[in-house]
Amino acid sequence: MLIAARNEEANIGRTLSDILAQDFPAELREIIVVDDHSTDNTSAIVRSFADQGVKLLKLNESEPVNSYKKKAISTAIAVASGELIVTTDADCRMGKSWLSTVVNYAAQNSSFLVSAPVVYSEQRNFFEELQTLEFLYLIGLGAAGIGHRRPSTCNGANLAYRRDVFHEMGGFNGIDHLASGDDELFLHKVAAKYPDKIGFCKSRDAIVYTDAKKTLRGFIHQRRRWASKSTHYKNKGLVVLGVAIWLFNSLLLSTGIFALFFNAALWPAFTVAISLKLLVEFFFLYPLGKFAKRTDLLIYLPLLTFLHIVYMTYIGIAGNIGKYQWKGRRVN
C-alpha cells in the first residue's frame, strides 16, 4: 500500500485509519507513506501510526525533480516487499472491503494492472455537485476503454499493479520528466505490451472516495495537469481521438457563438448537435450514476453539457501550454 503525501495533515490521518480498518489480513499488508517535502505536520501524523505498522519515508531534499510524485512512488517501491503495489492518495476514504476486493480481483483475473473506481463524495455546494457528475464521465471512459482492451485512462487514487511488471516496464523511465502521469502514462506502458492483462474492478466495495475541488481555480489547475499528459501518449490513436473530441467541442462552441451573435440560421444545426450530445451523455452517465448512487445529479446534465463545451475547448489548449500549480509548486 503506497501513499505519496504532501501537506496533507488535514487528511492523512483519516486515510490511514481507513486503511488500517481493512478486512485484509494485516500480516499480508504493508503500508508505506512517502512525505514529499511537506511543510506541515504530515510526517508527525504518519509517525503516530508507526506502532500499527505504517512506514514513513521522506524524499531527499537535495534531489530536485519535475515529477515528485513519481519519485515518491519509485522510492516506496524500491523498499516494498509485496508482490502487488496498491496506490491511493492521502485525501481518500474507503470502505473496509476495498483492499481485499481489489486484490482478489487481481488474483482471480491474473491481472498485471487493475484500475478501480474513484468517486467524489460529500458535495458541499452546487459547484462540487457538477464536478461529481463530470468526474463520473471520466471514470466511465476509463472503465469502457479497459473493457474494450483499449486502455486510455485511470486514476492513481485507486490503482494496483504487480511489482515485477513495474520493473519490467522500467518503472517511470521515459515519462519521469512529466510532473503528472504516474497513473495514466504508466497504464499506457503496460497496455502497449499486455493489453489483455489490464482490468477494471467494477465493484462498489472497490470504490475510493475523494473530494471535489473547492474552488474554480483549483479545478482548472487539476484539469490542466490531467490534460498536460495527452500530447505525450505513445499510442497516437488516443492522441487522434483526443484531438477529435476537442475539435468537436470547439466547433460546437463556435457554432453557438455565431448563431447567437452573427447568424441565427445556425441555431437549428446547433440545437440538433447539442441535443444529440446531451442524449448520448445521458445514456452513458445513467448506469454510472446508478453504480455510484448519484443519479440525482443527472438533473444538472443539460447545464453541464453546455459548460462542458466551453471547458473542453479551454482545457484542451491551456493544458498543453505553460505551467500549472500542483501541491504548491509551479510545474510543467
Q: DSSP letters along 187-240, please?
A: HHHHHHH-GGGEEE---GGG-EEE---SSHHHHHHHHHHHHTTGGG-S-HHHHH
> What is the pLDDT at residue 231?
65
> What is the pLDDT at residue 11?
95
> What is the pLDDT at residue 318?
75
**105 contact partners, CB below 8 Å, separation of at least 6:** 111, 114, 116, 199, 201, 203, 206
CA distance 100 to 242: 35
CA distance 149 to 220: 30
pTM of the shown model: 0.89
CA distance 279 to 196: 31
Question: In this structure, is the dihedral angle defined by the CA atoms of residues 176, 178, 182 and 183, taken in order, positive or negative?
Answer: negative
Nearest by Cα to 181 from 300, 306, 331, 2: 331
> What is the pLDDT at residue 323?
60
Which strand (E) or helix (H) includes residue 249? helix 236-261
> What is the pLDDT at residue 326?
55
> What is the pLDDT at residue 63?
63
Cα 68 to chain centroid, rounded = 17
Q: Label the pairing between strands 84-89 and 2-5.
A: parallel
In contact, 92 and 157? CB cutoff 8 Å: yes
The torsion angles phi and psi of 159, rounded to 5 degrees, stand at: -140, 145
- From first to last of its 332 residues, the chain has per-residue pLDDT tens of 999 999 999 999 999 999 999 999 999 999 999 999 899 999 999 999 999 999 999 987 666 566 788 999 999 999 999 999 999 999 999 999 999 999 999 999 999 999 999 999 888 899 999 999 999 999 999 999 999 999 999 999 999 999 999 999 999 998 877 777 789 999 999 999 999 999 999 999 999 999 999 888 888 888 887 777 766 677 777 778 788 888 999 999 999 999 888 888 999 999 999 999 999 999 999 999 999 999 999 999 999 999 999 988 888 887 766 565 556 655 55
Q: Which amino acid is at 71?
A: K
Question: In this structure, is the dihedral angle defined by the CA atoms of residues 152, 155, 160 and 161, taken in order, positive or negative?
Answer: positive
**Helices 126-147 and 301-318, axial angle in degrees (round to 10):** 70
> What is the pLDDT at residue 120?
94
Nearest by Cα to 141 from 131, 154, 130: 154
E-strand ranges in the chain read 2-5, 31-35, 54-58, 84-89, 93-94, 113-115, 118-120, 159-162, 198-200, 208-210, 324-326, 329-331
Please tell me what DSSP assigns to residue 111: -
Q: Quick one: cell of 34? A: 512517502
> What is the pLDDT at residue 145?
93
CA distance 94 to 22: 9
The torsion angles phi and psi of 199, rounded to 5 degrees, stand at: -130, 160
Q: By three-state DSSP, how is residue 324 classified? A: strand
Nearest by Cα to 36 from 78, 1, 77, 64: 64
> What is the pLDDT at residue 25?
94
Q: Quick one: cell of 157? A: 487514487
> What is the pLDDT at residue 209?
97
The torsion angles phi and psi of 213, rounded to 5 degrees, stand at: -70, 140
> What is the pLDDT at residue 204?
97
> What is the pLDDT at residue 123?
83
